[in-house]
Amino acid sequence: MATTDRAEAYACWLQYKKIEDVKWLDNYASYCLNIGVVGTSEIIHSALDELSLAFHSMFGKKPTVTPHVDSETSIIIGTYQDMIEEEFALETDVFQSLNDEGYILRTVNHLEKNCVLLVGKTDKGVLYATHHLLRLIQARESLHQLDIVEYPKNQIRMLNHWDNMDGSVERGYSGNSIFYENNKFTTNLERIKDYARLLSAVGVNSISINNVNVWEKETYLITRKLLQDVTSIADIFRAYGIRLFLSINFASPMELGDLSTADPLDNNVKSWWKDKVKEIYQYIPDFGGFIVKADSEHRPGPFSYGRDHADGANMLGEALEPFGGVVVWRCFVYNCMQDWRDRSTDRARAAYDHFKPLDGKFKDNVILQVKNGPMDFQVREPVSPMLGAMEKTNQIIEFQIAQEYLGQQKDLAFLIPMWKEVLDFDTYAKGEGSTVKKIVDGSLYEYTYSGIAAVSNIGDDINWTGNTLAQANLFGYGRLTWNPNLSSEEIAKEWVQVTFGNDPIVVETISTMLLDSREIYENYTTPLGIGWMVNPNHHYGPNVDGYEYSRWGTYHFADRDGIGVDRTIETGTGYAGQYFSPNKEMYNSLADCPDELLLFFHHVPYTHRLKSGETVIQHYYNTHFKGVEQVEDLRKKWSLLEGKIDEYRFHNVKERLHMQLENAIEWRDQVNTYFYRKSGIPDEKNRRIF
C-alpha cells in the first residue's frame, strides 16, 4: 500500500490535491497568493493555518500572509467588527441579520484589484467562510463573482461519542477510540486536531467525548484526576469553534463522593453537583454542559427516589446555570424488561408517555434529546411523536451516523435521504407547515436552545470510518445540520468532489451508489417498516426472531396468518394517537397508512394487498431478491472505477461490497425461508427459497 494512498484515506474531505487544471489555474490561482488578516484570535489562526496548508498543497507554494491589507492582498479575512473601518462596502444590515456563526464570501475590487473577502460575524464565521472557499476551489468553481451570505440554520450541531476509556467504542465499527487507550487519554493529540479540522469544515460546533453509559467510577471524566486531560482536548476543539460536553453518571455523588443518595431534591446532592460544576469551569471556562442518560437500560436516575425527569434535569441545570452551561437529557427511556407478549405495552410509546406530561416543568437550560424515531435507529420508522409535542421544552433531535442497525459500515447506507425525510416531515404541531426542521431550529416554538445531535461513526482506522464511503455520512451530517434545505443530491456530489476529485465518471458513479443505497439496504433487510430482525447484542446480520429482549416474543408479531404490530387507537397499543391530526388519522387507518410504514402500525394478513397491488408476502419475496441483485450491481459499478481511484480506497470499498453481498444473500435466504414456512404461501415467481 502506497503511503500516499493512506494519506488520502486519512484526509477524508480535506484532500487539497495539487491542481492540474491549467485553465482554472490561469483564471483563479492569483487569488490564492497573498492573504491579508484583519484582527486576530485563536480561531482566526486556525482558519489561516487551513488556508496556508490548502494553498501550499494545491498550488505548490505557500501564500504570503500579512497582518494588514495592501495592494498585493488577494484574500482578506477577518471579522466584521475588525473590518468595519476598512473600505469594503460591508452592509451593516446584512451582518445584523446573521447569527454569530454567519459570514459573507464576496469578490470585491480593492485598490484596483479583485480580492476575495472572507468576513465573519465573529471569528467562527471566518473559519466557516474559509472552508466554504476551499470547497469551491476543490470543486473548481469560479471565484470571479462570489457573493455568498451564509449562516447555520441550527444553533446546536453536536456529535455524541460513545467512547470508553479502555479504548473500545460502543457501537463502534471503525476501530478503537481516538481519545482513549488502556484507561488513559491518548498521547496522539495531532489526530484529535485533525478530527477537529474535519468537523469544523462541515460546521459541527459541539461534541461530547465519552459514552452516555458511564460505568466505571475510575474513568469518570469529571474527576479532578482526569479534568486536566479533558482540558487539553477542550483546548484543541475550542480552536476550531467546537464546544466540549461530557456524559455523566447520575449517581456520581454516590460513586465519587461520600453521599448515600443521588436524590435530586436532597440539598447535599444539589451542593455536591454545584461544587463539581464550579470545579469543571475552573478547568474549562467554556464548558458546554452534561449529556445524561438516566432511568433507561439499567442506568441510574431520579426514578430510584420517586422523582421524575424534570426533577433530575433541573437539579443539574441549576448547577450549570451560573456558568452558561446546559443539560442535554436523553429521552431514550423505556422499560427494557417489559413483556412483549402483552400487546398493550409498546416501547414506541415510552418517550412520549414519560415526557409529554412534564412539558413546561423543565428549566430553560435543559434540552431534551429525542431520537428521530420512536424505536432505535431503524432503516424505516415513523418520526417520533415527541418532536413538536412539547411546546414549552427545548428539544434537539438525535440521529445515528454509526450504522448500528444499518450494516455497521460494512454495508453501504447513505443516511442523508433518511434524515431529510425526518426533517421535512410535517408534524402539524401548529398546523400545516410545522416541519421537524422548524422544530429543531427553534423557530416553531422559539426555543432558547435547539438543534441536532448524532452518534459519531469514527474510530482510529486509517480512514476514520472503516468503510471509506461511510465518510459521506459524517460529512453529510455536518452539511445537513448547517443547512437542512440542501438536497441529498447536492450533498452527495459535494462529498464526492472534495473526497475523490472531479472526474465526471467518478462523481456520477459514486453519487448514484450513495443515493440508491438506503433503499437497497431496506430491500434485503426489513421493508414495510417492520424493523428488528437482527442478531442480538452485536446487531449485524439476520435473526428473524432475535433481539435482546425477544425472549418474550418477537417485535414483528408474525404468526401463520399475518405480520405487523397493531398500534391503532381502537384495537392496538394506541401509539398512533400520539400524533397530531391528520397524521394520527393517516397512521391509524389501514387504507391511508403509507405502505412503507404499514407493518409498523398494522397487523395484516400476508395476503393483504399493498397500494402497488402486491401482497405483503410477495413484496417481501420480491424485495429480498431485488436487494441482492442491487448489491451485485453496486459491485459492478464500483469495479468500473479501478484505476480512477487510489489503490487503498478502491480495495477498501471493494472488500466492503463483497461483505455486503454476503450479508444480503444471508438476509434474503433467512427472511424468505422464514416467511414461506410461516405462511405456507409460495413465491409467485417460483424462485428458489430454501
Reply yes or no on whether 376 is catalytic: yes
The C-alpha cell of 130 is what?
474559509
Question: Closest by alpha carbon to 128, among 411, 478, 591?
Answer: 478
Direct distance between the N- and C-terminal alpha carbons of the chain, in angstroms, rounded to an integer? 41
Q: Is residue 574 within 8 Å of 567, Cβ to Cβ?
A: yes
Distance from C-alpha of 61 to C-alpha of 64, rounded to nearest angstrom:
9
Question: Closest by alpha carbon to 683, among 459, 179, 673?
Answer: 673
SS3 664: helix
- Active site residue: 308, 376, 411, 566, which one? 376
SS3 614: coil
Q: Which residues of 334-359 are buried (b: 16+ CB within 10 A; e: fewer)?
A: beeeeebeebeebbbbbbbebbeebe
Residue identified by cell 490535491 is 17
The C-alpha cell of 402 is what?
454509526
Backbone angles phi, psi at 258, to 5 degrees: -115, 25
Residue identified by cell 411523536 is 385
Distance from C-alpha of 406 to C-alpha of 522, rounded to nearest angstrom:
9
Q: Is residue 159 within 8 Å of 208, Cβ to Cβ?
A: yes
SS (H, E, C) 518-539: HHHHHHHCCHHHCCCCECCCCC
Q: Please state, as a whole number, how many other Cβ atoms lie within 10 Å of the Cβ of residue 525.
A: 29
Q: Is residue 454 within 8 Å of 398, Cβ to Cβ?
A: yes
The C-alpha cell of 660 is what?
455486503
Q: Please state, as a whole number, how many other Cβ atoms lie within 10 Å of the Cβ of residue 259.
A: 17
- Active site residue: 321, 404, 411, 461, which one? 404
Q: What is the DSSP string of 477-502?
A: HHHHHH-TTS-HHHHHHHHHHHHH--
Question: Closest by alpha carbon to 210, among 163, 268, 274?
Answer: 163
Segments in 108-222 forming alpha helices (H)? 123-138, 189-201
Sign, CA dihedral 208-212-213-216, equals positive
Distance from C-alpha of 360 to C-alpha of 245, rounded to nearest angstrom:
25
Q: Is residue 530 within 8 Å of 598, Cβ to Cβ?
A: no
Residue identified by cell 412520549 is 352
SS (H, E, C) 126-152: HHHHHHHHHHHHHCCCCCCCCEEEECC
Distances (CA, A) of 118 to 25, 40, 122, 312, 561: 20, 14, 11, 44, 65
- Active site residue: 86, 141, 297, 683, which one? 297
Identify any residues that bridge with 328 across adjacent strands, giving them in sequence order. Answer: 291, 367
Reply yes or no on whether 666 is catalytic: no
SS3 241: coil
The C-alpha cell of 541 is what?
446480520
Sign, CA dihedral 236-242-245-246, equals negative
Query: Beta 206-208 vs 326-330: how paired, if at all?
Result: unpaired
Catalytic center residues:
297, 376, 404
